[in-house]
Amino acid sequence: MQQFETYFNALLVRAPAKINLCLLVTGKRPDGFHGLRTIMAKVNWYDHLLFEKTTLPGIELICTGPHWAPTGPENLVFRAIDLLCKQTGHTPQCKVTLTKNIPAGSGLGSASSDAAAALLGYSRFANITVSTPKLMELAARLGSDVPFFLGSPLALCEGRGEILTPLHQIFSFTALLILPNINTSTKRVYEKYSHQKDTFESLNSQIQLRIEQKKLDLVAKMCANMLEDSCFCLHPEIAELKAGIEHLGITPVCLSGSGSTLFHIIENDCSKKALNTYRSTLKDTLGCDSVIVNSNNW
């Protein structure tokens, strides 16, 4: 499945979710933000953006799908198109229908991915030529995770998340995403975070070695997420859910981003029947929804 599809005069753009195979916090920076060292991987679960022509200038944003999203300037899709047009001297003229399949506040990067898809999609739809460095600059202004979604499906992200090193090694995986239906606030999770320098240095040395050895499967199995404690402090029900999942024998279970999604990387020999058994067991035993995804190839 490709990112772009053309339908008559319309353009469909897919915006993939991501998971954090690891997430380390390097400490607080002079600008007040926390430094990160995280490996992000795109997965094949998508929001959809449909671009259509309109007769009048302006940005008409419609949001549909199973999850709510705002329809005005507070939406990153609207802001991305507006920023792109202002930077290129273009007058926006489009209707965008955003189908929200990926819940917000879930640690899956859905709003950031939507913003990146809006930059890529509108520049293609309106035939605006923008260099990759310029797109990256605009993406970083919209949010720390947005630049990642413009690039390769797997990357080491540093700084605030905007400094990218693509990881070209092949790491194909299947993952079970467990969705607690809790909207976490990244801002509050970071406010609750208490830095542990020794923990960072220990985890960082282990992860760096495994990156060099091209063993990202071992990185994922570490479930190294330094935001986990602060997320669980704010939402103890997520910690309880993780314990319940592990009690069912589904291990290891990791937190993506600042939460709330938990994920389990599935071994290659795990059958489709076993995956569906996991899903039904989670629903029947813990009342929790889940989806099965694969690594994305773009």
Active site residues: 18, 145
- Rounded CA-CA distance 36/161 in Å is 6
Tell me, what DSSP letter sits at residue 105? T
Q: Which two tokens stand for residue 119?
A: 């930059």
- Rounded CA-CA distance 249/38 in Å is 27
- Rounded CA-CA distance 23/9 in Å is 41
**In Å, what is the CA distance from 227 to each residue of 111, 234, 246?**
20, 11, 19
CA atoms lying within 13 Å on the CB side of residue 13: 25
- Rounded CA-CA distance 183/191 in Å is 16
| Backbone phi, psi, residue 255, to 5° | -95, 135
Cβ pair 95, 130 in contact under 8 A: no
Q: What is the CB neighbour count within 10 angstroms for residue 31?
A: 7
- Rounded CA-CA distance 162/138 in Å is 11
